[in-house]
Amino acid sequence: MHIRVERDAFVDALGPVQGVVEAKKTLPILSHLLLEASPDGVWLFGTDLDVGLRRGLTAEVIAPGAVALSAKKLYEIARELPQAMVELQADADLQVAIRCQRSSFRMKGLPREEFPSLPDLKGDDRITLETRPFRDMLRKTLFAVSSDQTRYALTGVMVQVQAEEIRMVATDGHRLALVRAPRRAGKGGDTLEALVPKKAMVEAAKITRDDGGDVRVWLAENQLILHQEASTLVARLIDGQFPNYDQVIPVPGPRKIIIGKEALQGALRRTSAIMGERTTATEFELRPGRILVSCVNMDLGEAHEEIEATYDGDGLKIGFNARYVLEFLAAIDAAGVALHITDPLSPALFQAAGDDAYGCVIMPMRL
């Protein structure tokens, strides 16, 4: 194998691919990526067996071939090279020479046969999604995914593509984020439902960061394939039963409070400063025309802040995990927040003011 490639293009392709590579090295080969050159082009492929990313690279192919190289070290080397043409050449023993102007390196490679093969990318239900709404939906749900591996079915994002609507849902058992978006006409009539691991969706958000173009999605056996331009992401689906989220979302009740987003963010950040390492409830005391936000730390003291709100109901006290509310606020662009509360023990619904297509259900904490 012998190729020449621009340093910046090489680094741009290496970055996302090395991001999916197995960091814990359960198998030595999984700490590597596959560099493959053919008359059709140059490809980088990295995988941890659950998530894989294949990235095309514009390069001059002098001699075709393939070799597996340490993903982390290759990326570290490439980042430090000057902005010039990089030449990579592998010999019969898979020793790879890397040259760029006056810099030269030699890396030991592994044979392609030891590297996991790319899954079969054939499949039905090819669906085209717009990039910007797709990425925006990920931003509004990823924060609510569970990190508890004992609740495996909650460690991913539920993606549902219906005839006229696209939904993404995530929950960790304490909160649930649901976002809906209309499906653009002329983008096919197929439907799809898949429970996709969080890591795959984080990588999907990275490779779809460009505003232009569409994302193509389809299923191949138990895997989701996502393709945009030169990038193909393969994710093994979570085999588990996702909760019936429709039963969790409360019907908006009589208590509706409209609050300024920045005012609520500021109040939560300031009152949380008194909080210790142990998470305690932040109290929302509803009063006509305002909310009193309070946090009490039995060892350090207490903090209170009053903010204006549009509310004319009766008085009520309810506690929330401030971090959950702040993460929801960070995901919305609206200037105001609509808070629907039934009683101090029932799930509350947070929405961007005037937008019922996105909401976050948060369980209250006992005060």
pLDDT category at 254 given cuts 50, 70, 90 is: confident
Mean pLDDT lowest among 57-61, 154-158, 272-276, 330-334: 272-276
Return the closest-CA partner of residue 135 out of 157, 112, 115: 157
Q: So what's the pLDDT on residue 130?
A: 87
* pLDDT category of residue 220 using cuts at 50, 70 and 90: confident
pLDDT at 124: 58
Pair 207, 140: CB distance under 8 Å: no
Phi, psi (rounded to 5 degrees) for 351: -140, 155
Q: Is the pLDDT of residue 123 over 90?
A: no
Per-residue pLDDT, 298: 86
CA 146, 151, 156, 160 torsion-angle sign: negative
Report residue 230 as tokens: 């030169």
C-alpha distances in Å from residue 135, one per residue of 51, 107, 178, 212, 324 = 18, 37, 14, 12, 21
pLDDT digits (tens, 9 = 90+) for 273-294: 998 777 889 999 999 999 999 9
pLDDT at residue 212 is higher than 70: no
d(CA 137, CA 215): 13
Report the DSSP beta bridge partners of residue 107: 96
Q: What integer pLDDT is reported at residue 112 of this predicted model?
A: 94
Which CATH code of 1.10.240.10, 3.40.50.720, 3.30.379.10, 3.10.150.10 fits the domain covering 124-246?
3.10.150.10
pLDDT, averaged across the chain: 91
Lowest-pLDDT range of 50-54, 107-111, 165-169, 251-255? 251-255
Does position 108 have pLDDT exceeding 70, yes or no?
A: yes
Question: Superfamily assignment of 2-114 in CATH?
Answer: DNA Polymerase III, subunit A, domain 2 (3.10.150.10)
Average pLDDT over residues 304-311: 95
The b/e string for 235-250 (b: 16+ C-beta within 10 A; e otherwise) is bbbbeeebeebeebee
Quote the tokens at residue 223.
Answer: 């895997």
What is the DSSP code string of 300-336?
TEEEEEEEEEE--S--EEEEE-HHHHHHHHHH---SE
Looking at 21-141, list the stretches that DSSP marks H as alpha helix, in order from N- to C-terminal side. Answer: 71-80, 131-139
Mean pLDDT across the stretch 59-80?
A: 96
71-95 pLDDT, tens digit each: 999 999 999 999 999 999 999 999 9
Which pLDDT does position 119 carry in this prediction? 75
Structure tokens at 244: 């019936």
For the cut 80, the answer to whether the pLDDT of residue 111 exceeds it is yes
The answer, yes or no, to whether residue 39 has pLDDT greater than 60, is yes
CATH 3.10.150.10 assigned to 250-362: yes
| Euclidean distance between CA atoms 353 and 338, whole angstroms | 5
- Taking the whole predicted model, whether its pTM rises above 0.75 is answered as yes
Q: What is the pLDDT of residue 185?
A: 64
pLDDT at 359: 95
Q: To 10 degrees, what angle do helices 322-331 and 261-272 make? A: 150
Whether 2-114 shares its CATH topology with 124-246 is answered yes
pLDDT bucket at 14, cuts 50 / 70 / 90: very high
290-297 and 60-63 as β-strands: parallel, antiparallel, unpaired? unpaired
Contact 101, 76 (CB under 8 A): no
Domain boundaries, the chain: 2-114, 124-246, 250-362
d(CA 184, CA 163): 10
**Which pLDDT band, with edges at 50, 70 and 90, does 168 fall under?**
very high
What pLDDT does residue 269 have? Answer: 96
* pLDDT score recorded for residue 210: 61
| Predicted local distance difference test score (pLDDT) of residue 207 | 86
Distance between CA atoms of residues 172 and 242, nearest Å: 11
Q: What is the pLDDT of residue 190?
A: 78
Helix (H) or strand (E) holding 226: strand 223-228
